[in-house]
Structure 1
Amino acid sequence: MMLPVLINALVVFIIVISSIIYLKLAQKYNIVDNPNFRSSHTIPTIRGGGILFFIAVLCYFVVSNFKAPYFVLGLSAIALISFLDDILTLSAKLRLPFQFLAVGLVLFQLHVFNMPWYVLTSAAIVGVAFVNVFNFMDGINGITGLYSLAVLGGLLALNTIEQLAYTQLLSYVLAAVVVFGYYNFRKKARMFAGDVGSISLAVVILYVLLAIGLELQAPVLILLVAVYGIDGGLTILYRFYLKEQLMQAHRHHLYQKLVDVWQWSHLKVSAVYMSLQLAAVVVVLLTYKFSILAQVGVVVAGLVMLAVLYVVGFKATVKKLEV
């Protein structure tokens, strides 16, 4: 009984030490995010700290005797290109194939390639869209970490209740999020997750969410990522309306408006997003055993409620700007 405890403690130790080493290396090699007119921060801040999430997955891969190799391979590819993007700023044309590769390997790991080609194609497109939305939402201190704690915590709760096989993976990634939070859950963060962090987390969540969803046949699990989905999705529609390029930096997300227009602190906004997602987690835990039809009804009701909150907040912001 002591061996698993010692292994888990060792993994946490590795993550902590990795955070210290990365902070020093990033400072030495100037891997920093310098503020500009689109930034929410005012001082140069270490970027790429989310590499800790990838390290946590590598630890899981070794400890689990190399389970889920295609998922880990896909994550490795996208983490590498995302980390290079944090350092060098790569074009979307170069990053996109790696995103489709990672999502494709996740689907291959889940043994769903016997589905019709149009289903797989749609799943790949939705998966890549999810990864990018998750990345777009990483714009203020605390939001990626706190929101991910809610999502990963919900997945871990489901996994524990149903005695599924993802406890170790989720626990290690959660530990990495907490360690990262030590540097990021601050008024002036010491490090940002960067693309390597937000995109790696998105792939982990996508993999576990799909795996548990397929196993339980529970469509209501989509609500586990609904808050980001609504803000990210409706913001993309708004940018289409403005005829903006989707990959161009902007400040149209509602969470950005709450900071810029309403002058809420980063951590207050992050806590609100986390709280809304935790409420959705509770709904999922209470309804995932309902009939499929009932779950679809719950999903529609939940998404409509979140969409209404978004529209009300956005309209109030526009009105405030007009005053």
Structure 2
Amino acid sequence: MSSVFVWLNDQLLRMQWLSDLVTLLLRDVIGMDVGSRMGASVHFFLYDTVKIFILLSVLIFSISYVQSFFPPERTRRILGQHKGLGANIVAALLGTITPFCSCSSIPLFIGFTSAGLPVGVTFSFLISSPLVDLASVILLASIFNWGIALAYVLVGLVLAVLGGTLISWMKMEHQIEEFVFTAPVVSHDGGTITRRERLSYARDQVIEIASRVWPYVLIGVGIGAAIHNWIPQDLITGLLGQDKWWSVLVATIAGVPMYADIFGTLPIAEALVGKGVGLGTALAFMMSVTALSLPSMIMLKRVVKLPLLVVFATIVALGIVVIGYLFNATAYLFI
């Protein structure tokens, strides 16, 4: 039974058949030595790019179909049925079925806040949505393994719940811009949508998200290929090696100026780990890019005042750093 699972995991998630096909194409058709730096880089780029887009299309279609049953109004009602810590947990879990980057999650944040949901609950959703969507879990499993993917989900959800709970405890509702509370709320419970409309919605989501993320995927895979085959390992480990106490801090700070979906940062994380960088350091970089990117902070500044923005960024940054060191300390359990 276990051998069947391993085979399915290798062929469906890791897509070993695709790696073999790319090798055959480069070696036997083009005549390229896949053992050379250039050949290995081209193989890494083609294999990872095609694999990510195949998985991305299938996963976003499936997740979007499920998501069609949870439009903003229904999601708001679900969240409104819970109070306290339970509401933060539900908000974080609902964030996992929204395949959005942090920028596209902000309009939902506005809608939830204007509908009267507690600020801390909406922040749990805002943290979870770009950080722990279901598509990223499957992609993490395809690149690393299921243990790392599930552990990442757990710590991401904990960060979202704790972050929202702390903001709620600090009573910072007055730090939300006034227009957010008066934004119109659109009522739609999703119950009258036909199956064909749901399928059409899921297809459109694949097209919309793929058209938005493809540049970041190509850039991320390109950087990953360069790290994997061209940058000396000694140079990378000298700065971000597992024995360097500052590596997680540097990775977290380095991710802030960047902007990309998690789909574009995964190949970079994969290449960094392959070069001897700690698992926690690579994941901290990935989480920082997706949750703390400068463009996201600039957009969030339009709806919250500076003190709340600073509190949010500080909580998330400290959480990422702690998670990074935790994964570095326990990496032997997963690899």
TM bucket (normalised to shorter chain) is: under 0.3
- Which one has a bigger Cα radius of gyration? 2
Higher relative contact order (CA 8 A, sep 6+): 1
